[in-house]
Structure 1
Amino acid sequence: MRIQRRLLTAIIIGLSATSLALTGCADSSAASRDGESTVAEAEVPREKVPATFGDNTFISGSTRIAITESRVIPLGETGNEHGVGPVLAIWYETTNIGVATGAESGDGTGAGAGAGGIDSTASDPLGAWLTHFRAVQQTGAEYPTELGLAVSPDEALMGGQTDPIPVGETVSNAVAYTLADAEADVELIVTDSGLTEVGRQTFNVR
Structure 2
Amino acid sequence: MVKKVFVLLACASSAIMLSSCSTTVADSKQPTNADSSQTIEATDTNATNTTETVDAPANGSSFVDGVLTTPEMKIQITNHKVIQVGEKGNEYGSKPVIAFWYQITNLTEKDIEKDISPMNFIFVMEAFQDNNPNAENKLEVGSLPDDKFLDSQMENIKKGGTVESAIAYELDDLKTPVDLVASNDLGMTEIGKITYKLK
TM range (shorter): 0.5 to 0.7
Residue aligning to 2:139: 147
1:14-67 CA-to-partner distances (Å, cap 9, x unmatched) read xxxxxxxxxxxxxxxxxxxxxxxxxxxxxxxxxx85111111101111100000
Q: Which has the higher helix share?
A: 1
Match of 1:124 among 89, 93, 117: 117
Matches of residues 1-206 of structure 1 in structure 2 within 5 Å? 50-99=60-109, 121=114, 123-126=116-119, 128-193=120-185, 195-206=188-199
| CA deviation after TM superposition for structure 1 residue 139, in Å | 1.2
CA contact (8 A) 2:110 2:159 kept: no
Structure 2 unaligned regions, length at least 5 = 1-57
CA displacement 1:124-171 (0-9 Å, x = unmatched): 111x10121000001133122100011110000121111111111000
Do 1:94 and 1:170's aligned partners in 2 also have CA atoms closer than 8 Å? yes
User: Quick one: structure 1 residues 100 and 184, their matched pair in 2 at CA, closer, same or farther if it must change by over 3 Å?
Assistant: farther
Question: Do the aligned partners of residues 125 and 52 (structure 1) sit closer, same or farther apart at CA in structure 2, a change above 3 Å counting?
Answer: same
Unaligned runs of 5+ in 1: 1-47, 103-119
Q: Deviations over 1:180-201 (max 9, x none)?
A: 1221100001101363101000
Shift of 1:101: 9.0
CA distance in 1, matches of 2:97, 2:158: 30
Amino acid at match of 1:62: E
RMSD (Å), alpha carbons: 2.1
Question: TM-score if structure 2 supplies the norm length?
Answer: 0.66
Is the 8 Å Cα contact of residues 186 and 205 (structure 1) preserved in structure 2?
yes
Secondary structure of the residue that 1:159 maps to in structure 2? coil
Question: Larger Rg: 1 or 2?
Answer: 1
Is contact 1:49–1:100 with CA below 8 Å preserved after alignment?
Answer: no
- Whichever residue aligns with residue 83 of structure 2, its letter is I
The 1-side partners of 2:181 and 2:66 are apart by 12
* Partners of 2:129 and 2:138 within 8 A in 1: yes
Which letter maps to 1:186? V
